[in-house]
């Protein structure tokens, strides 16, 4: 094989390998991803055995510690309705608080939902800048 031809072969092999890897990556990302849902969507769509990324606000008065398990309810941000009960173990970020907006990966189990360990993050609209008092009343 002459050198130019050899280089072409190498290039084709390398490119096909890259394309194969990229397709695997893309395929698994769609498979492994958890859809981001609001509590009301979750109540309609959730199937057992799949995980979902739940976004909403923590219902006031719903937070309860039970051993290492944290129980709380998440409701739609806009309406405050459709509360979903979540049992969660693992890291609770400092800003976690009743009324705060959070994101947690959950899986349906019976009537309730189990939070994936350490998946809870607080989505605080005022991380670096404290919100003006009007917003904070709701927070």
Partner 1 sequence: MALLGHVCLVLALIVCAYGIAVSVYGARSGRAEFSLAGRRSVYALAGLLTLGMVVLEIAFVGNNFAFNAVADTSSRTTPLLYRLAALWSSQEGSLLLWAWLLSMWSSLVLFLTRKRLREVASYATAILLGFGGFFVGLMVFYANPFTTTSPVPAEGVGLDPLLRFPTMMIHPPILYSGYTLCTIPLAFAMGALIARKVDGEWIAVIRRFALAAWLFLGMGILLGASWSFSELGWGGYWGWDAVENASLLPWLTGTAFLHSLMIQERRGMLKVWNVSLPLATGILAIMGTFMVRSGILDSIHAFGGATVGVPFLLLIAALLAGSIYLVVSRRAILASTHHLDSLLSREAIFLFNNLVLVGLAFVIFWGTWFPKISEALTGQAASVGPPWFDRYTVPLALILVLLSGIGPVIAWRRATPRGVLRSLLFPIAAALLTLVVLIAAGITQKPLAIAMFCCAAFALGSVAQELWRGTHVRRGASGEAPPVALLALIRRNRRRYGGYIVHVGMAVLFVGVAASSSFQHVSQLSLSPGQSTRVGAYTMHYVRPTAALTPHDDPTHTGSTLNVGAVLRVTKDGRYVTTLRPSEDFYESQEESQGSVGHLIGGQPVSSVGIDASLTRDIWSAIQPELETPKLKHIIEVGNKTIPFSRPDEGLFVIDFLAHEYLKHPPPAQFRLEVSPLIMWIWLGGLIVFAGGLLALSPSPGALRRRIARPVSLELAREVKYRELRDLELDLATGKLSREDYEATNATLRAEALEILNQLEPEPSADASDPTDASDSGSPTSGRPNGRAGLLPGLPEQEDGVSDEQDREEDSPAVEVALHE
Given the rule CB under 8 A, which residues bind partner 1?
3, 7, 10, 14, 18, 21-22, 25-26, 28-30, 32-36, 53, 65, 67-68, 89-95, 97, 103, 105, 116, 118-119, 121-131, 133, 136-137
Q: Is 139 exposed, middle or buried (0-12, 13-18, 19+ CB in 10 A)?
A: middle
* DSSP state at residue 1: -
Question: Nearest approach, Cβ of 138 to partner 1 (angstroms)?
Answer: 11
Q: Which is nearer to partner 1, 67 or 111 (CB)?
A: 67
Is residue 52 within 8 A of residue 46, CB to CB? The reply is yes
Judged by CB, which is closer to partner 1: 55, or 111? 55
CA distances to 23, 115, 122 from 91, in Å: 34, 11, 11
C-beta closer to partner 1: residue 3 or 111: 3
36 vs 112, beta carbon nearer partner 1 = 36
Nearest distance from C-beta of residue 100 to partner 1, angstroms:
10
């Amino acid at each position: 094989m002459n050198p130019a031809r050899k280089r072409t072969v190498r290039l084709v092999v390398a490119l096909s390998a890259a394309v194969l890897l990229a397709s695997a990556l893309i395929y698994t990302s769609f498979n492994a991803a958890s859809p981001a849902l609001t509590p009301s969507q979750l109540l309609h769509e959730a199937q057992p055995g799949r995980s979902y990324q739940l976004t909403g606000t923590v219902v006031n008065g719903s937070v309860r510690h039970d051993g290492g398990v944290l129980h709380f309810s998440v409701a739609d941000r806009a309406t405050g309705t459709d509360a979903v009960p979540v049992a969660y173990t693992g890291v609770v970020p400092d800003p976690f608080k009743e009324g705060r907006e959070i994101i947690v990966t959950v899986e349906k189990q019976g009537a309730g939902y189990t939070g994936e360990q350490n998946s809870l993050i607080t989505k605080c609209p005022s991380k670096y800048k404290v919100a003006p008092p009007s917003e904070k009343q709701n927070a």
